[in-house]
Amino acid sequence: MADVKKLAPFIQRWEGGFVDDPDDLGGATNMGVTIATYKVYRKRKGLSEPTVDDLKHLSNNEWIDILKSLYWDKWKADQIKSQSVANILVDWVWASGIQTWLVQPYQ
């Protein structure tokens, strides 16, 4: 079965550090996690709403938990036999943004 820990280094290789480009519709982003996604994640964990400063200090462990809980698990990728198929699916969802993962499983 596929394993999120095999996908994580690939995504991390392409995601940079913290940016807050006014021309980027995603707003403040760290390691590919937008402030909007981080707010959803923290709310689901029962934590306080994060600030941009919290996002700047996003830990690697928290980043992996976001990848797993909001993207990998959403698509039940642990049940996919092929690591390559799981990687393609979850990487596509990751790159597509929060709106995609809210809609796609129900279409």
Q: Is residue 40 part of a domain?
A: yes
| pTM confidence score | 0.86
Q: Is residue 88 part of a domain?
A: yes
**Domains contained in the chain, number:** 1
Q: Is residue 107 part of a domain?
A: no
pLDDT reported for residue 34: 94
pLDDT in tens, the chain (107 residues): 999 999 999 999 988 899 999 988 889 999 999 999 999 999 999 999 999 999 999 999 999 999 999 999 988 999 999 999 999 999 998 988 765 555 555 45
pLDDT reported for residue 97: 72
pLDDT reported for residue 16: 82
Q: Residue 1 contacts by C-beta under 8 Å, 6 or more apart in sequence?
A: 78, 79, 80, 81
Q: Is residue 48 part of a domain?
A: yes
Which structural domain range is residue 53 located in?
4-102
Q: Is residue 33 part of a domain?
A: yes
Residue 96 in contact with residue 11, Cβ under 8 Å?
A: no
